[in-house]
């Protein structure tokens, strides 16, 4: 499905966009960062229908990956699925969030709930907040006294303190650079001394072993072709010698096997990519991972680390606007 708003970036290229980046993190870490790895396609007994710009993250309360909504090319979706490492299972919920694509969600380890915010439903940019309880497999709409601007493509990620943070997004007119934190019942605006340039659709993930958030790329009026890190207090603009091609709607997740954030795919100038990169904390560098095979190019896919598998998985997305429903695991 083509969204009804376009933005110009990178020397006048026109990109049709919506925003959703999957964010996940693991809990154990080992040392060892290989120069080569492999992607292996999984064959679950059942899978969600094809879609892109879904919201996906790991839910530690249930020990499963949760996936919600997205766009199947003809309609916006609001179904909920979970993946246990063997198969995908659709969950019948009493009150699911309304249909949307380009929302994002992350796990709050303090409240042990997944927080979902934002998105686009074909008519409106959304500013509602929903909570997923993995122990009951139910959604609940939150009623915060304050909330971020309704946006598509916000970046949600676990703060080093365990809460869920939100940065940026696009409200239909402007890219945002405000930062918020979910307290468990309300959104509180944060005021770091430095923040990244306004953007949406960036790739973001948290490395919990060093309490570092890494953000790369996306779309914005000011050049988004840069890498930022966040330590729970302020953002720092990094200066890697090498970094990935500027991409939007790429997927990122922390891989506990190599104690590194990996980045996969994304769109660049209207062309979907399928390269894999890892963020090296010592020295603050990106390095491309040579893979023996790789998922097909895609943007708007979901990505999360699943401890039950001990691997990062990727699901769905779209390649040249054709929605996908394949599941892959990263094998470093």
Q: Is residue 192 part of a domain?
A: yes
Q: How far apart are CA 213 and CA 235, in angstroms?
A: 9
Q: Is residue 194 part of a domain?
A: yes
Nearest to 253 by CA among 186, 331, 305: 305
Q: How far apart are CA 104 and CA 127, in angstroms?
A: 11
- Reduced to 3 states (helix: H, G, I; strand: E, B; else coil), residue 61 is coil
Rounded to whole angstroms, the maximal C-alpha distance in the chain is 50
Q: Is residue 68 part of a domain?
A: yes
Q: How far apart are CA 311 and CA 241, in angstroms?
A: 28
- Reduced to 3 states (helix: H, G, I; strand: E, B; else coil), residue 132 is strand
Q: How far apart are CA 15 and CA 9, in angstroms?
A: 8
Block residue for tokens 């992607």:
39
Q: How far apart are CA 125 and CA 34, in angstroms?
A: 41
Tell me the two tokens of residue 50: 């094809």
pTM: 0.91
How many domains is the chain partitioned into structurally? Answer: 1
Block residue for tokens 């999957």:
22
Tell me the two tokens of residue 317: 């997305």
Q: How far apart are CA 147 and CA 159, in angstroms?
A: 17
Q: Is residue 324 part of a domain?
A: yes
The runs of H, that is alpha helices, within 75-229 are: none
Nearest to 230 by CA among 156, 175, 328, 138: 156
Q: Is residue 221 part of a domain?
A: yes
What tens-digit pLDDT sequence spans the chain (332 residues)? 444 333 332 333 333 333 333 333 333 333 455 678 999 999 999 999 999 999 999 999 999 999 999 999 999 999 999 999 999 999 999 999 999 999 999 999 999 999 999 999 999 999 999 999 999 999 999 999 999 999 999 999 999 999 999 999 999 999 999 999 999 999 999 999 999 999 999 999 999 999 999 999 999 999 999 999 999 999 999 999 999 999 999 999 999 999 999 999 999 999 999 999 999 887 799 999 999 999 999 999 999 999 999 999 999 999 999 999 999 999 99
Q: How far apart are CA 327 and CA 308, in angstroms?
A: 15
CB–CB of 262/330 below 8 Å? yes
Q: Is residue 1 part of a domain?
A: no
- Element (H or E) spanning 273, and its range? none
- Reduced to 3 states (helix: H, G, I; strand: E, B; else coil), residue 179 is strand
Strand runs labelled E in 202-264: 203-207, 212-216, 227-230, 235-237, 251-255, 260-264
CATH number at 30 reads 2.120.10.80
| Full residue range of the structural domain in which residue 259 is found | 6-331
Phi-psi region of 321 (alpha: psi -120 to 50; beta: other; left: phi over 0): left
Q: How many CA atoms lie within 13 A of 228 on its CB side?
A: 24
Residue 317 has a pLDDT of 98
CB–CB of 325/307 below 8 Å? no
Residue 33 has a pLDDT of 55
Residue 34 has a pLDDT of 62
């Amino acid at each position: 499905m083509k969204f009804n708003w376009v933005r110009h970036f990178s020397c006048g290229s026109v990109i049709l966009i919506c925003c959703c980046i999957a964010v996940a993190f693991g809990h154990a870490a080992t040392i060892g960062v290989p120069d080569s790895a492999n992607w292996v396609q999984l064959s679950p007994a059942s899978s969600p229908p094809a879609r892109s710009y879904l919201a996906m993250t790991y839910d530690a309360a249930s020990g499963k990956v949760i996936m919600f909504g997205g766009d199947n090319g003809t309609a916006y979706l609001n179904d909920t699925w979970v993946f246990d490492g063997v198969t995908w299972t659709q969950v019948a919920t009493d009150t699911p969030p309304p249909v949307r694509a380009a929302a994002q969600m992350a796990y709050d380890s303090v409240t042990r709930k997944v927080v979902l915010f934002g998105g686009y439903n074909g008519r409106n940019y959304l500013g509602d907040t929903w909570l997923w309880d993995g122990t009951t497999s139910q959604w609940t709409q939150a009623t915060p006294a304050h909330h971020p601007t309704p946006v598509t493509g916000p970046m949600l990620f676990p703060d080093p303190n365990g809460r869920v943070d939100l940065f940026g997004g696009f409200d239909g007119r402007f890219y945002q650079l405000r930062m918020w934190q979910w307290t468990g019942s309300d959104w509180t605006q944060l005021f770091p001394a430095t923040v990244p340039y306004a953007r949406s659709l960036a790739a973001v993930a948290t490395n919990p072993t060093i309490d570092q958030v890494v953000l790369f790329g996306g779309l914005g009026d000011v050049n988004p072709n840069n890498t930022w890190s966040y330590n729970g207090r302020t953002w720092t603009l990094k200066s890697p010698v090498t970094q990935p091609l500027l991409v939007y709607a790429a997927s990122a997740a922390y891989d506990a096997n190599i104690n590194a954030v990996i980045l996969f795919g994304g769109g660049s100038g209207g062309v979907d990519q399928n390269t894999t990169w890892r963020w090296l904390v010592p020295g603050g560098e990106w390095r491309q991972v040579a893979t023996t095979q790789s998922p097909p190019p895609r943007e708007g896919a979901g990505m999360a680390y699943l401890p039950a598998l001990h691997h990062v998985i990727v699901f769905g997305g779209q390649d040249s606007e054709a929605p996908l429903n394949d599941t892959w695991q990263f094998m470093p």
